Structure 1
Amino acid sequence: MNRFNIVYYTDPLCCWSWAFESTLRQLREYLKDDCEIRYCMGGMLASWNTYQDTLLMVTRPAQMGPVWMQVRQVTGAKLNERIWHFDPPASSYPACIAVKCMGRQSKNAEEEYLYRLRKAVMLEEKNIAKPEVLLQLAEALDKEAPGLFDLPLFKQQLTDETTINAFKADLNERKERNISRFPSLWISTQEDERKSLLITGNRPFEALQTLIHQF
């Protein structure tokens, strides 16, 4: 089998990406050491003043709740849409930036922190647009997985120029590759990166497996 580079375009607020978690784990387990996954934060929601999802007809927070309900019904993923009625996140940018900050320390820390961000907003009704929530989740991770990352360093780097620029680079990459929906996977072989495939949407593992074998 070929060795693969996978760029995962996603966003902490994306409910379809939350539903895709189990499939991504299956894919990682299937490919094992034959793949390298890089996370690219999509910046799905800059602000509700500018947000417009013409496909799902969403322009305000209250309309996001029914989308989560639909994803729950279609995929069976656990989702709690109540946050969109009593404390809707104003933007996904703070959470995206926090993920990039954690990624500066290690990929394992980045993956675990992103999962906890998703779980916090999707199930626990925590507003991950708020800085205090981002810090609380980092502090909880530090207690439960000591040594995984440096908490004081995370706090120090959370809003520095390098972290912000890392997120801006992700936004530029998403624009250059015309990624408009999440989750999306850009898959290429390590032997020849010109040989690539873009997969968009919450596909079942079997579909991904079939597409990978076509390389």
Structure 2
Amino acid sequence: MEIEYYTDPLCCWSWALEPQWRRLRFEYSGRVKWRYRMGGLIPNWESFNDPMNVVNRPLQMGPLWMEAKYVSGMPIRDKIWYENPPASSFPACIAVKAAGLQSPVASEAYLRKVREAVMLQGQNVGERDVLRQVGRSLAEVQPDVLDADVFERDLGGEEARKAFEEDLRQVRLHGITRFPALTMRREGEENGVLIIGYRPYEALRTALYKVAPELEPVQHTTDEFEYRRYWGSITERELEEVLKGTVS
């Protein structure tokens, strides 16, 4: 199975989906491949407009994040939108691609850390210094995953920017207008399924089965400490999702 996940570090609904997305990757470990496409949610506030949620300036983003917090149960620092609002999500998207130049593992680890920085800590991830600090913090904890000096070099380089531009091209090519969006298909095949927006775990699993009916989970857990060790950094909502019990 191949999954392409269209997302953005500043997408609150992608953060809201983390419990279900992590559970899927845990239970089907080794059975699915995935890659992230950065969606470029907010180029700048002069051009951004979300008519569905009536958002075209930073203050209006706060209530949307508050909704995501209460619907999903994930902790979110919605006050950032009037305390220190990011001017754009493009720098954070490019930073994820810069980390990804080292490895897919680095890309995933950095994306998680930059999400935690804004969603849990209320940091302005539109600022280059904040993005550098996220990279340094990750490198201190996982030096085998990310080299901070290489990351900072790549952060201002052309290769990361071009990788982000390719992601934006894929977003346009597939007509993705909302995040999160996940395409699921068998490896090497063109046809598959598309899931858009925040969904319960059962919706993700059902989509997998539409593409690969024979696919079964390879592991479950009811051990809180095992799951914490597996991910390292985890929220209580993410833990709750996997401890709900197995779905038959």
Structure 1, unmatched stretches of 5+, are none
Deviation at 1:153, TM superposition (A): 1.0
Give the deviation of 1:27 after TM superposition.
Answer: 1.0
For 1:113, the equivalent position in structure 2 comes to 110
Tell me by how many angstroms 1:157 deviates.
1.1
Matched, 1:197 2:186: no
In structure 1, the partner of 2:225 is none
Q: Tell me the matched-pair count.
A: 211
Q: In structure 2, how many angstroms separate the alpha carbons of the residues matched to 1:122 and 1:155?
A: 22
1:9 is paired with a residue whose SS is strand
SS at match of 2:194: strand
Matched residues in 2 for 1:156 and 1:212: separation? 38
Tell me the equivalent position of 1:44: 41
CA distance in 2, matches of 1:147, 1:209: 32
What's the TM-score, normalizing by structure 1?
A: 0.96
- Give the Cα–Cα distance (whole angstroms) in 1 for the partners of residues 66 and 146 of structure 2: 35
2:171 to 161, 174, 193: 174
Distance 2:108 2:139 in 1: 14
| 1:32 counterpart SS class | coil
Task: Measure, in 2, the Cα distance between the counterparts of 1:146 and 1:193.
Answer: 36
Q: CA deviation at 1:175?
A: 0.3
Q: Deviation above 2 Å: which 4+ runs of structure 1?
A: none
CA distance in 1, matches of 2:78, 2:26: 30
- SS of residue paired to 1:38: strand
Partner residue in 2 for 1:95: 92
Kindly indicate whether the alpha-carbon contact (under 8 Å) linking 2:184 and 2:207 is maintained by their aligned counterparts in 1. Answer: no
How do 1:6-25 residues align onto structure 2 when only pairs under 5 Å count? 6-25=3-22
Q: Show the counterpart of 1:61.
A: 58
CA distance in 2, matches of 1:147, 1:46: 32
Tell me whether 37-46 or 199-208 shows the greater mean CA deviation: 199-208
Unaligned runs of 5+ in 2: 212-248
Query: In the aligned structure 1, how far is the partner of 2:206 from the partner of 2:142?
Result: 36
* Structure 2 length-normalised TM: 0.83
CA shift, 1:29, in A, is 1.6
Determine if the alignment matches structure 1 residue 148 to structure 2 residue 140: no
Question: Which amino acid is the alignment partner of residue 119 of structure 1?
Answer: E
Q: 1:75 aligns with which of 72, 76, 79?
A: 72
Q: Secondary structure at the match of 1:49?
A: coil
CA positional deviation for 1:18: 0.4
